[in-house]
Amino acid sequence: MRPLSKIKHKAHIVWPMAALTLVLSLTFAILTGCARKTEPISRTGFYFDTVVQITLYDTEDETVLDGCFALAEKYENLFSATEEGSDVWKINHGNGETVTVSDETVQLLVTATDYANTTGGRIDPTIRPVSELWDFGSEGNAHVPEDASIKEALSHVSYDNIRFGTAPSDETGDPVYRTVTLTDREAAVDLGFIAKGYIADKMKEYLLSQNVKSACISLGGNVLAVGEKPDGSPFRIGIQEPFAESGKSLDTIEIRDTSVVTSGIYERCFYQDNVLYHHVLDTATGYPVENELAGVTIICDSSVKADALSTSCLCLGLEEGRRFLDAQKDVAYLLITRDGTQYRSPNFP
């Protein structure tokens, strides 16, 4: 067994990335001067190995919730690496052959590889051969793999192994991606560091199409507020204190019509010989990344962007991560180190 050392290499968070629980405050306000015409409705399900909760404030139409969870099921059947027959499952079991998948799957994989390139491979959608060895996604089965097995799996981790095929151009003249090929037969992809953000954005699009203008979407560490509460008040979101009892908030922020995504190292983890092993894996060594950061919270309009940025920063470490985030437009952040020190951007609420 190899204990963690002070390593500063490439890193990536594995699927699913329920790294940090955001505690959603669902206090239902009463409209001043008159009785509410609509009571909030809420539903909870379990997809992508995480709890999904949707709360609608300005409609009592349960069919809208049906539509949200139909989307959750749809995207699990596209993006899950463990769901047999999903697009990602087909890519990973293609044995080097070209696989035809949905346009959305390719779009998300293209976005994932763009972030891999931007971070110099610190996050990499082809991390799955390594993450499978650690098995953080299974209750009680996570363990430290043999070092030789990790080194073998690492030899198949490179986003350069992904090839995209295009169908004839559509009427706009833009190429339409429809195929994916892994040039390494042993390579495999995992979209865990970005998929939940994409799904939250798509749920928001759907809700707006149904004339829902006040809602809250929660997918584990991803919370997206649609508008504000019907009485004009903001949504209040609690940020979990690292390594504290679940539900203990470090801070509470108020948001309107934006996304809050947090990644951290203190969930999906275990101790062995007094060493903490967590699910944020270093793509240079195959072991959990070790740097100053315990948690990263990102606020921005795009949930998919917030998802990717929170993971990227957590993997880059404190100083490099801050520089990376400061270069982004319209992004607010809170970084929490392992010793509890907080670093906030000037625009963080």
The CATH architecture that domain 12-74+194-344 belongs to is Roll (3.10)
Q: Do 99 and 85 contact (CB within 8 A), yes or no?
A: no
- pLDDT at residue 14 in the model: 42
Q: Letter for the amino acid at 45?
A: G
Name the residue with higher pLDDT: 54 or 247: 54
Peptide bond into 40 cis (omega under 30): no
For residue 76, the surrounding DSSP H or E stretch is helix 62-79
pLDDT tens digits, residue range 60-85? 999 999 999 999 999 999 999 999 99
As a whole number, the mean pLDDT across the chain is 87
Query: What's the pLDDT at 70?
Result: 97
Q: Indicate the residue type of 152.
A: E
pLDDT score for 38: 76
DSSP code for 84:
T
Q: Chain centroid to CA 276: how far?
A: 22
Tell me: pLDDT of 15 over 50: no
Residue 272, pLDDT score: 87
> Residue 64: its pLDDT value, please?
98
Q: Domain locations in the chain?
A: 12-74+194-344, 78-182
Sheet order of strands, 259-264 included:
41-47, 50-56, 214-219, 222-227, 259-264, 293-300, 332-337, 342-344
Query: Of the ranges 1-10, 261-270, 323-332, which is most confident?
Result: 323-332
pLDDT at residue 262, rounded to an integer: 93
pTM over the 0.95 mark = no
In this prediction, residue 7 has a pLDDT band, given cuts at 50, 70 and 90, of very low
pLDDT band at 22 (very low <50, low <70, confident <90, very high): very low
255 band by pLDDT with thresholds 50, 70 and 90: very high
Model confidence over 172-230: pLDDT tens digits? 667 677 899 999 999 999 999 999 999 999 999 999 999 999 999 999 889 999 999 99
Identify the band that residue 20 occupies on the pLDDT scale cut at 50, 70 and 90: very low
Q: From residue 219, how far is each of 28, 193, 274 by CA, in Å? A: 20, 13, 31
Taking a C-beta distance cutoff of 8 angstroms, is the pair 261, 277 a contact?
no
pLDDT of residue 33: 37
Residue by residue, DSSP assigns 264-326 as ESSSSEEEETTEEEESEE-TTTSSBP-SSEEEEEEEES-HHHHHHHHHHHHHH-HHHHHHHHH
113-to-8, 30, 72, 127, 184 alpha-carbon distances in Å: 21, 46, 23, 12, 16
Burial of residue 170, with CB atoms counted within 10 A of its CB: 0-12 exposed, 13-18 middle, 19 or more buried: exposed
Does residue 246 surpass a pLDDT of 50? yes
Q: What percent of the chain is predicted at pLDDT more than 90?
A: 72
Using the predicted structure, report yes or no on whether residue 32 has a pLDDT greater than 50. Answer: no
When the candidates are 2.30.30.180, 1.10.3980.10, 3.40.50.720, 3.40.50.2000, the CATH number that belongs to 78-182 is: 1.10.3980.10
Q: Over the stretch 141-179, which tens digit does the pLDDT of each residue have?
A: 778 999 999 999 999 999 999 999 976 666 666 767 789
Chain centroid to CA 29: 30
**Distance in angstroms (rounded) separating the CA atoms of residues 13 and 54:** 25
Determine contact, residues 21/221, Cβ cutoff 8 Å. Answer: yes
Q: What is the pLDDT of residues 268-317, one digit of tens each?
A: 888 888 888 898 999 999 999 999 999 999 999 999 999 999 999 999 99
